[in-house]
């Protein structure tokens, strides 16, 4: 009761990351998406800097060499509004509401499966370590746990426990969750939770879920769920297979309050860390320019639009292209995604990700064709135009003189369009067609062949991805194309967050939006995760009975 009173009186510190981040940003005189001091490249610093680390650039550095936009048919004279729209990080309801200094000195360290990130948490509140509290009831609790409970626990478990304890308080409310992790951190041997909850049912959520593990010491599925109960204490040994989670709290009225921590002891030998095989990468699929005309809004095939997109992308390392597909094509894709005969497979393990991926063999033709579009040679070339990256071996990478030629080309095409000449479109079609035909006979360096990897994903309540300590980081272009997002609210989750490795600040948020193509260039110091989709998302199902969430075509392109 005393702990509950202290919490309500806000005497036990709870760190609100959103407010904390905004205050730090305002203190530096930066905007809502301000970046930390320029120590990184790509999305972190210059945002578009390729190979800067190899050149030894320590500051902002130079942008990647500007590509000459490859010849594509002229369309509208100017790009649509909102190109390269920057989405505010830490806007209301879009980030973890509060958690306490995880892994940073005075706070309680995070488990090893989610180091220094908020990806594992969803809005729960956690106090600082209670060892500094002087209130008599808190001090008495620590003394009882150390002097009376620890010797008994050591005898029961046959583990010699040190006379130290980590102790903190956690408060879970509606839709709060703590995702799958193993609690392993050097010296931790026994984890415990003392529940201070009102009468609690399984239907209220907030259960402590324990996972089984496979032969690779990776979590498989929940095998036991413990319902919180007032004045009950749960403990378990921390080990390489002690995977667990706190399931989403579903009660809008009740608060799941607990005191938890760890006892320390001799470290346990850990088996070699398992590294899962990455998804196979593949070079582009030979498709000529006609595939672009069949799928893409003509405004994005205009060279003036491409030049503007590239200029903005070089400055920001991200862009957001609305109404990317032709309306009729997008409608066909959405209708096909709602078909029940598509086979979806849950992709894990749950300490890294949880979402559904489509089995390509079960897809209707329109969706197979859409996947082929994202793998097509023509799109590789178009992405080179949008970003200035070398995603095709014939795309220019010479910095000298390219800006002038690009400007001349864009100006020439625009002037012809203004004069009403009808041959410009045909000329550019012919140029691109010849360019692609030339590519078929040109030798290419196999060590630098651009590749991609992608999948069609389905997102609904309970889906997420996590930042984890085996996550590979390298220079890459992320592409996300969203479907079925009408009336999707950011409070549901499902947005993609980009963060700096080892830092808490969020660099960029990409919210799902219908028929929008998001492009983000990240470097080796940038990580990403998809926020857990919570129980509020079921409101979307009421408005759209055939759609419990949304879908995205997720691809990564490598130079």
Distance CA 171, CA 382 (A): 49
- Whether residue 549 sits in one domain with residue 464: yes
- Largest Cα–Cα distance in the chain? 90
DSSP 185: -
pLDDT at residue 75, as a whole number: 39
Q: Are 206 and 42 in contact (CB under 8 A)?
A: no
Measuring CA to CA, which residue among 29, 120, 38 is closest to residue 527?
Answer: 120
Compute the average pLDDT of residues 247-262: 97
Please report, for the domain that includes residue 288, its CATH number. Answer: 2.60.120.620
pLDDT at residue 129, as a whole number: 84
pLDDT tier, 42 (very low <50, low <70, confident <90, very high otherwise): low
Compute the average pLDDT of residues 211-234: 97
pLDDT above 90 for 244: yes
Choice between 12 and 485, residue whose per-residue pLDDT is larger: 485
Length of the chain: 559
- Whether residue 300 sits in one domain with residue 255: no
Residue 321's domain spans which residues? 282-391+448-558
The H or E element that residue 330 is part of is helix 327-337
Tell me how crowded residue 474 is: count the other CB atoms within 10 A of its CB.
9
pLDDT at residue 280, as a whole number: 94
- Whether residue 380 sits in one domain with residue 519: yes
- Looking at the domain assignment, is residue 50 inside a domain? no
Choice between 402 and 536, residue whose per-residue pLDDT is larger: 536
pLDDT above 90 for 496: yes
pLDDT at residue 62, as a whole number: 33
Measuring CA to CA, which residue among 214, 249, 257, 210 is closest to residue 232?
Answer: 257
Q: What are the beta bridge partners of residue 508?
A: 498
- Looking at the domain assignment, is residue 543 inside a domain? yes
Q: What are the beta bridge partners of residue 480?
A: 518, 554
pLDDT above 60 for 544: yes
* Tens of pLDDT, residues 427-485: 545 545 555 554 444 444 445 799 999 999 999 999 999 998 777 788 999 999 999 99
- Whether residue 332 sits in one domain with residue 258: no
Instruction: List all residues 6 or more positions away from 254 whose beta carbon is below 8 Å from its beta carbon.
Output: 197, 198, 200, 204
Our CA angle for 452, 322, 372, nearest 5°, is 30
The H or E element that residue 144 is part of is helix 136-144
pLDDT at residue 128, as a whole number: 84
Compute the average pLDDT of residues 501-526: 93
- Whether residue 537 sits in one domain with residue 471: yes
| Structure tokens given for 341 | 């005969």
As a dihedral over the C-alpha atoms of residue 367, residue 369, residue 375, residue 377, rounded to 10 degrees, the angle is -160
Measuring CA to CA, which residue among 406, 468, 398 is closest to residue 181?
Answer: 468
What are the distances in angstroms from CA 93 to CA 22, 44, 86, 358?
14, 23, 17, 29
Q: In what order do the strands lie in the sheet with 177-181?
A: 121-122, 177-181, 244-246, 208-213, 219-226
pLDDT above 60 for 139: yes
- Whether residue 302 sits in one domain with residue 248: no
Of the residues 233, 264, 295, the one at which a domain ends: 264
Choice between 257 and 108, residue whose per-residue pLDDT is larger: 257
What are the distances in angstroms from CA 356 to CA 359, 461, 463?
10, 11, 8
* Tens of pLDDT, residues 63-91: 334 444 444 434 333 333 332 222 222 22
- Whether residue 225 sits in one domain with residue 194: yes
Phi-psi region of 356 (alpha: psi -120 to 50; beta: other; left: phi over 0): beta
* Tens of pLDDT, residues 147-203: 999 999 999 999 999 999 999 999 999 999 999 999 988 899 999 999 999 999 999
Choice between 123 and 106, residue whose per-residue pLDDT is larger: 123
What are the distances in angstroms from CA 211 to CA 205, 275, 526?
17, 19, 30
- Looking at the domain assignment, is residue 25 inside a domain? no
Percentage of the chain modeled with pLDDT above 90: 57
Of the residues 210, 237, 264, the one at which a domain ends: 264
Provide φ and ψ at 143, rounded to 5°. -65, -40
- Whether residue 297 sits in one domain with residue 224: no
Percentage of the chain modeled with pLDDT above 70: 69
| Structure tokens given for 437 | 């035909």
pLDDT above 90 for 51: no
- Looking at the domain assignment, is residue 61 inside a domain? no
pLDDT at residue 145, as a whole number: 96
- Whether residue 219 sits in one domain with residue 85: yes
- Looking at the domain assignment, is residue 436 inside a domain? no
- Whether residue 253 sits in one domain with residue 298: no
Mean pLDDT for all residues in the chain:
77
- Whether residue 214 sits in one domain with residue 292: no
Number of domains in the chain: 2
Q: Are 313 and 519 in contact (CB under 8 A)?
A: yes
* Tens of pLDDT, residues 107-130: 333 343 433 345 666 667 878 888
pLDDT tier, 353 (very low <50, low <70, confident <90, very high otherwise): very high
- Whether residue 332 sits in one domain with residue 222: no
- Looking at the domain assignment, is residue 83 inside a domain? yes
Compute the average pLDDT of residues 407-432: 43
Query: Peptide bond before 30: cis, by omega within 30 degrees of 0?
Result: no
Of the residues 236, 264, 292, the one at which a domain ends: 264
């Amino acid at each position: 009761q005393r702990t509950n009173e202290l919490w309500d009186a806000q005497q036990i510190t709870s760190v609100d990351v959103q407010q904390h981040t905004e205050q730090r940003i305002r203190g530096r005189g930066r905007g809502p998406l301000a970046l930390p001091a320029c120590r990184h490249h790509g999305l972190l610093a210059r945002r578009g800097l390729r190979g800067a680390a190899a050149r030894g650039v320590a500051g902002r550095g130079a942008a990647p060499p500007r590509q000459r936009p490859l010849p594509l048919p002229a369309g509208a004279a100017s790009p649509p509004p909102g190109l390269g729209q920057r989405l505010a990080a830490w806007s209301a309801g879009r980030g973890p509401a509060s958690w306490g200094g995880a892994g940073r000195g005075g706070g309680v360290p995070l488990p090893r499966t989610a180091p220094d990130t908020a990806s594992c948490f969803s809005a729960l509140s956690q106090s600082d370590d209670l060892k500094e509290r002087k209130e008599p009831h808190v001090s008495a609790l620590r003394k009882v746990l150390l002097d009376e409970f620890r010797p008994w626990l050591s005898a029961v478990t046959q583990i010699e426990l040190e006379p130290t304890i980590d102790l903190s308080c956690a408060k879970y409310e509606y839709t709060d969750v703590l995702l799958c992790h193993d609690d392993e951190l050097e010296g931790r041997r026994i984890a415990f939770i003392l529940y201070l909850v009102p009468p609690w049912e399984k239907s209220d959520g907030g259960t402590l879920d324990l996972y089984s593990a496979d032969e690779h010491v990776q979590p498989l599925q929940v095998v036991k769920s413990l319902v919180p109960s007032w004045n009950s204490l749960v403990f378990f040994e921390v080990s390489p297979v002690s995977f667990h989670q706190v399931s989403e709290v579903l009660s809008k009225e009740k608060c799941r309050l607990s005191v938890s921590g760890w006892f320390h002891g001799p470290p346990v030998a850990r088996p070699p860390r398992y590294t899962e095989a990455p998804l196979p990468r593949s070079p582009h699929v030979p498709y000529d320019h006609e595939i672009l005309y069949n799928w893409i809004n003509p405004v994005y095939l205009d060279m003036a639009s491409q030049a503007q997109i590239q200029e903005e992308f070089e400055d920001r390392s991200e862009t957001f292209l609305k109404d990317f597909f032709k309306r009729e094509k997008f409608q066909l894709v959405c209708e096909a995604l709602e078909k029940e005969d598509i086979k979806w497979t849950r992709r894990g393990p749950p300490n890294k990700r949880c979402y559904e991926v489509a089995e390509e063999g079960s897809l209707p033709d329109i969706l197979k064709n859409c996947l082929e579009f994202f793998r097509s040679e023509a799109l590789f070339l178009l992405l080179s135009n949008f970003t200035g990256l070398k995603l095709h071996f014939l795309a220019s990478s010479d910095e000298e003189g390219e800006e002038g030629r690009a400007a001349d080309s864009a100006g020439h095409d625009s002037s012809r369009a203004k004069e009403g000449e009808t041959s410009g479109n045909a000329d550019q079609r012919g140029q691109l067609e010849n360019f692609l035909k030339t590519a078929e006979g040109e030798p290419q360096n196999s060590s630098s062949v651009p590749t991609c990897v992608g999948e069609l994903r389905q997102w609904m309540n309970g889906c997420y991805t996590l930042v984890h300590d085996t996550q590979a980081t390298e220079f890459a272009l992320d592409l996300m194309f969203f479907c079925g997002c009408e009336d999707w609210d950011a409070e549901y989750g499902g947005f993609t967050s980009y963060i700096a490795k080892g830092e808490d600040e969020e660099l960029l948020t990409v919210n799902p939006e219908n028929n929008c193509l998001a492009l983000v260039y990240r470097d080796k110091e940038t990580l990403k995760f998809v926020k857990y989709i919570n129980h509020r998302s079921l409101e979307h199902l009421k408005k759209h009975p055939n759609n419990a969430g949304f879908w995205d075509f997720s691809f990564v392109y490598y130079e």
